[in-house]
Every structure is written in C-alpha cells, then in structure tokens.
Amino acid sequence: MFQCRVCSNGVRAKEFVAREMMFGTREEFDYDECAECGSVQIAQVPCPELLAKHYPDDYYPFWSPAKTRSRAKRVLATLRTQHILGKPNLLGAILARLQPAPAVGNVDLFKREGVKWSARILDVGCGGGILLDGLAAMGFEHLLGVDLFIEREFVTPNGVKVLKTTLEDVPGEFDVVLFHHSLEHVPDPATSLEAAKTKLRPGGICIVRVPTTSSEAWERYGRDWVQLDPPRHLAVPSRRGMAIMAQRSGLMLKRTVDDSTGFQFWGSEYYKRDISLQRNGLSGPLFSKQEMAEYERRAAELNARGRGDQAAFVLQKER
C-alpha cells in the first residue's frame, strides 16, 4: 500500500522503473510519484545490506578532504571565505574581488543567517567530512559530523570528529544542523527532520540541500533524471513536500534558494544515452565547452525562476 514518505498522502500519481546508472550496474528499481505533493520515492526501501552495496569506496561523498583539491588551493579558498564572512585579510579581499561569493552556497547562507564562528554545527550524513573540514579551516570552532554508512569513526585533517551513528543518538544541542545532500538518502525524511528539531536550540536553523522534483529537469528527463539516482535516493521531495515536512516537524520554512548547475542537463543526457557517470569508459568528454557553458547558463536561468533541480531549504526552530 502506497504512502508518501514526504507528505504522508496515500494516493500515488504513477509508478515507474528507474535504473542505477552512476556506476552503471543498470539494476532496476520501482519508484512512485505522490499525487498530492509530487515527490518521488523508491517503492520499497532496500535492506541495509543491499543499500551498502551501492555505496562503494569510490562513491564521491566518501572521498577524504585531501582528495578534493591541493593544499594551496584549500588555503586560498579559506582566506577568501574568511574575508567574505567577516574576517578581513588582504589576500582574501583580492580573491573575493576576483571571484565573488556565489549567489548560493554555505558561505552565502551562513552570512545571510548570521551564523557565528562559535556556532555549534552538526553535519548529518557527512560522508568523508569534506564540508566540515573546510568549515574548520575557515575558522568555525565547534563542528561535528555523523554518518551511519562510514566504516568507522574518524577525525578529519583539521580536527573535526565524525561519528558512525544516527542523528537521534548524537549528544548535545546545536545552532545549525546541516543535511548537505543527505536527507534524500534516509528511509524516513520526515522523522529525520523531527529528530533535527530536537537537536536544535531555540531559534536554531536546519539547512537542507536536496534535489527536487519541482524542476524542469525532472519533468524533461523523468526516469533518466540524473538526480533520481536509484537506489541511493530513497525519497526526493518536491518544494511543496518540503514545506509540508517542515510544518509537520515544527520547523518554519524561512527561505528557499535554488542552487542547481548544468549537471542536471549533461548528467541526465549521459543516462538518456545509457552512459554511466563514474565508470563510463569514455575516452573524452561527451559535450563541448560551448555546450557545457550553455547548460550552466540555462541552470542559472532556472534557478532565478525557482525551477532548478536542487535547492537549499532553510528551516528555523521557534525561539
């Protein structure tokens, strides 16, 4: 019997079959679309053993901070971000002028929401801790990560502890709880938001970054939409679905900021042409620089219209 794991509605709009294409196993999984909120979800959540098989060691969120960029680039990025967030420095000022902060991103959202350097920040489903390690390098002082899929507890190069446990079992209270492209990976996203509320101090914020079906990419590509990502994405919410979940969790939806990229187009075109992403066997890029630039332009246009295929939802606990 169908029940939407986002809005709890009991009527499905349609059923469809989608394939695993990131690694190209091409295994098929049944998905449902909710008639009420338009969210999509895997029809039956796979058992933990099957899911674990689809999170191999080379799954990109598990990469360590050292793999993402050179030390010099990390230092320069840190100086730039520190300047943008209120820790002035000459080199950071020059870099910020050459490359201003994007219209969206954690730097921009933290600045908008007045997140302090001393804020207690929890990243749920943090993988290899890349985001947390970067925040620590910028100067944020109280950081913690949690991820049930990591092999064991560890500490990032910049000293952030990452625990192998559930959100419910994390001790303490936080000013900011992050779901950085992790909420779509949990079997019951509404329950996870409720748990996040219990971990927030009064007035604290929860920043949820997720793909969304309220987008041109989902409507255009359907089962080939790259951000459907079977079977890892267990429930992909619509914008209406996120608003319903927030309200039922006792959180106020403060703002929504689209942050989609050209990936929604070129990644989906790969899948449409039966080409996997991480193990595709191609000798070169599929699209020209001009085509990639056009995809980015279209993504920016969709973001401005609230039609991008992913967004950051800022939710706040009542004071």
Percentage of residues of the chain with pLDDT beyond 70? 82
Judge whether residue 11 has pLDDT over 50.
yes
Average pLDDT over residues 15-29: 95
CA angle 131-271-280, nearest 5°? 75
Q: What's this model's pTM, rounded to 2 decimal places?
A: 0.86
Which residues have CB under 8 Å from 301's CB, separation 6+? none
Judge whether 155 and 161 are in contact, CB under 8 Å: yes
Sign, CA torsion 157/163/168/170? negative
Residue 104: band (very low, low, confident or very high) from pLDDT cuts 50, 70, 90: very low
Q: What pLDDT does 53 receive? A: 87
Give the Cα separation of 58 and 13 in Å (integer): 35
DSSP conformation class of 47:
P
Which amino acid does the sequence have at 167? L
Question: What pLDDT is recorded for position 85?
Answer: 57
Identify the pLDDT of residue 279. Answer: 66
pLDDT tens digits for 201-219?
999 999 999 999 999 999 9
User: DSSP string spanning 216-235?
Assistant: HHHHHHGGG-TTT-TTT--E
Model pLDDT, residue 186: 93
Residue keyed to tokens 């191999």: 56
Q: Residue 152 pLDDT > 70, yes or no?
A: yes
Q: Which of 66-70, 88-92, 109-113, 294-298 has the lowest mean pLDDT?
A: 66-70
pLDDT of residue 274: 93
User: How far is residue 176's CA from residue 180's CA, in Å, rounded to a whole number?
Assistant: 12
- What's the pLDDT at 146? 96
Q: For residue 193, what is the enclosing H or E element?
A: helix 189-199
**Residues 151, 124: Cα–Cα separation, whole Å:** 16
pLDDT band at 266 (very low <50, low <70, confident <90, very high): very high
Q: What is the mean pLDDT of the chain?
A: 87
Q: What per-residue confidence (pLDDT) applies to 237?
A: 98
Tokens 């680039």 found at? 73
Structural element, H or E, at residue 209 = strand 200-211
The pLDDT of 54-76, averaged and rounded, is: 59
Q: All domains of the chain, ordered by start, with CATH?
A: 12-317 (3.40.50.150)
User: Residue 70: what residue type?
Assistant: S
User: Any bridge partners for residue 210, and if so which?
Assistant: 311
State yes or no: pLDDT of 235 exceeds 60: yes
